[in-house]
């Protein structure tokens, strides 16, 4: 039953894309929304059918031979790391579609890009075959580049090209790592396979090979650099603000809420298991880059005069904290990083939704064009304050749970890291409060703002759902953390690669 739900999660948006291609253009948005809502409905059986697999094992596995001569299968499955991200993907797709409801430029292709992007994102999280993972990882580029390059703002071509170059460069490094793992496994076992459960048995050489780095080090960095581009971690972050600012609102929502999480997911699924001791050796480097990103993102966000750029740079800061949680190498930090992945998706996705709502009416994201909106559009103001509180980790809301767990883990690992991390969290509150002050309060200085209309049902319904989840996770985080618990508990105690080493020929 679980395997059928997983397969439907991937196939539904593909089917929706086909229907959009067949039916008249006027049906496109409705077909896309219905498809996304059906996918969202699948979250319920997915949640209850998943039992909580230990690290390194998958539930609901479904596979068939794809390219048997190379040991490649179309194989999917889910565990405590991937399930929350699949659920998040299903939730944010209808939000993105509703945010772009008034788009009139080629709606067929526009909505098809959303559905294809969703299918490839979900496929990336579900793939248990390394070749299949790489295919989905690369395929995701196509609809995202089209969304930015066709429906973006004035500098959309530049932003789309920059996004492609950064991501594709990382993908080439990942391809080297994939091939190194696969052929090392073939050398040791005599078999060619891309199956993750089999490849975890490989033992990569620790002998110096190039520039003092071993094959294991090179594989670790091949995977890691590709994933850090996607996070994005300082100094590989420069594509993100351009992509966010130029992308249509729905594209920014999916980019922030889901695509960035593919980076942190990849670190946990591939970099650390295959890297092994290399991760232990280089973890201070990753931690320092995370801390720099945390502070730098917050500082640059504070300097912005554009709302969308502020929210974009806030992601650099927030995701720096998530990577730092992974660097703690303890259960508290890892659990906090996983739940904060979800929290960031909810809060930042909602912030982009609200900024897009204003831009849709005023065609401006500049702080100078706003002020005093609390007296003019109260429902918008309420939700902006509410979502900002979630982003600032106010107790009782979801952001607080993730940040506290990460900071507890960081304190256990390194007190110096913790001091810097706390400072970054404080700076996060500063730029968020600045956003609220400049947009909502003070005198109404622009006459055009008096004609703004408040949130309607199309905006209120997704915001209410996101708000309920923010409160639910803030007050009862166990409902989602229980699904991650088994994977988190065993991840550091029993390294995923170590348990298989004795099975290999010496």
174 to 141, 163, 165, 263: CA distances (angstroms):
15, 17, 14, 12
CA dist 363 and 308 (Å) reads 12
Q: Summarize the confidence of residues 168-184 as an average pLDDT.
A: 93
pLDDT at position 368 is 87
DSSP state of 46: H
Residue-level pLDDT at 324: 96
Instruction: Render pLDDT for 136-151 as a digit per residue (tens, 0 to 9).
Output: 999 999 999 999 999 9
pLDDT tens digits for range 3-35: 889 999 999 999 999 999 999 888 999 999 999
pLDDT in tens, 267-282: 999 999 998 889 999 9
C-alpha–C-alpha distance, residues 496 and 506, integer Å: 19
Helix or strand or coil: residue 209?
strand
For the chain, give the percent of residues with pLDDT over 90. 73
Mean pLDDT, the chain, as a whole number? 90
* Contact between 49 and 483 (Cβ < 8 Å): no
Q: Does the pLDDT value for residue 365 go beyond 50?
A: yes
Task: Report whether pLDDT(255) > 90.
Answer: yes
Average pLDDT over residues 474-495: 84
- The band of 55, judged by pLDDT with boundaries at 50, 70 and 90, is low
Q: Inform me whether the pLDDT recorded for 300 exceeds 60.
A: yes
Quote the pLDDT of residue 500. 37
Contacts of 188 (CB under 8 A, 6+ apart): 201, 202, 203, 504, 505
Greater confidence (435 vs 492) lies with 435
Angle at 135 between CA 283 and CA 19, to 5 degrees: 130
pLDDT at 42: 92
Prediction pTM value: 0.92
Report CA 208 to chain centroid distance, whole Å. 34
List of residues 6+ apart from 455 with CB closer than 8 A: 357, 377, 379, 380, 383, 463
pLDDT at residue number 56: 63
Nearest CA-CA partner of 115 in 94, 99, 132, 135? 94
Q: What distance lies between CA 185 and its chain's CA centroid?
A: 30
Check residue 40 and give its pLDDT. Answer: 93
Query: What share of the chain in percent tops pLDDT 70?
Result: 96
The sign of the torsion formed by the CA atoms of 431, 396, 46, 29 equals negative
Greater confidence, 210 or 284?
A: 284
Q: How confident is the model at residue 211 (pLDDT cuts 50, 70, 90)?
A: confident
């Amino acid at each position: 039953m679980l395997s059928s739900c997983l397969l439907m999660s991937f196939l539904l948006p593909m089917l929706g894309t086909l229907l959009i291609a067949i039916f008249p253009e006027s049906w496109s948005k409705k077909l896309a929304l219905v498809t996304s809502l059906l996918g969202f409905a699948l979250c319920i059986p997915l949640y209850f059918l998943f039992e909580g697999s230990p690290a390194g094992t998958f539930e609901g596995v479904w596979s068939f031979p794809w390219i048997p001569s190379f040991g490649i299968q179309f194989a999917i499955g889910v565990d405590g790391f991937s399930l929350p991200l699949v659920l998040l993907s299903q939730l944010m797709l209808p939000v993105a579609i509703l945010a772009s409801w008034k788009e009139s430029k080629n709606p067929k292709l526009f909505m098809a890009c959303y559905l294809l992007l969703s299918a490839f994102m979900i496929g990336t999280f579900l793939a248990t075959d390394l070749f299949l993972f790489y295919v989905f990882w690369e395929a995701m580029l196509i609809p995202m580049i089209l969304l930015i390059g066709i429906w973006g703002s004035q500098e959309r071509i530049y932003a789309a090209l920059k996004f492609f170059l950064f991501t594709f460069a990382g993908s080439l490094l990942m391809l080297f790592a994939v091939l190194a793992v696969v052929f090392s496994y073939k050398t040791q076992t005599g078999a060619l396979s891309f199956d993750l459960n089999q490849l975890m048995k490989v033992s990569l050489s620790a002998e110096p090979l190039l520039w003092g780095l071993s094959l294991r080090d090179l594989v670790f960095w091949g995977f890691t650099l590709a994933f850090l581009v996607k996070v994005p971690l300082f100094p590989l972050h420069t594509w993100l603000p351009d992509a966010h600012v130029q992308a249509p609102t729905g594209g920014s929502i999916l980019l922030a809420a889901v695509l960035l999480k593919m980076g942190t997911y990849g670190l946990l699924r591939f970099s650390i298991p295959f890297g092994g001791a290399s991760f232990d050796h280089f973890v201070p480097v990753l931690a320092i880059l995370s801390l720099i990103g945390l502070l730098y993102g917050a500082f640059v966000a504070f300097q912005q005069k554009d709302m969308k750029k502020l929210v974009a740079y806030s992601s650099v800061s927030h995701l720096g904290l998530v990577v730092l949680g992974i660097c703690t190498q303890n259960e508290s930090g890892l659990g906090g990083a996983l739940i904060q992945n979800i929290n960031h998706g909810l809060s930042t996705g909602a912030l982009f939704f609200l900024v897009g709502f204003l831009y849709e009416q005023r065609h401006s994201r500049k702080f100078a064009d706003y002020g005093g909106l609390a007296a003019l559009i109260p429902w918008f103001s309420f939700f902006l304050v509410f979502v900002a509180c979630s982003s600032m980790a106010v107790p009782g809301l979801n952001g607080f749970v993730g940040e506290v767990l990460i900071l507890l883990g960081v304190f256990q690992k390194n007190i110096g890291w913790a001091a810097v991390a706390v400072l970054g969290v404080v700076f996060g509150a500063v730029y968020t409060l600045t956003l609220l002050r400049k947009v909502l309060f003070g005198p109404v200085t622009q006459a055009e703002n008096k004609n703004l209309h408040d949130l309607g049902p199309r905006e209120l319904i997704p915001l209410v759902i996101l708000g309920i989840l923010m409160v639910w996770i803030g007050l009862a985080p166990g409902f989602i953390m229980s699904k991650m618990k088994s994977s988190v508990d065993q991840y550091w105690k029993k390294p995923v690669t170590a348990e298989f080493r004795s099975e290999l020929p010496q």
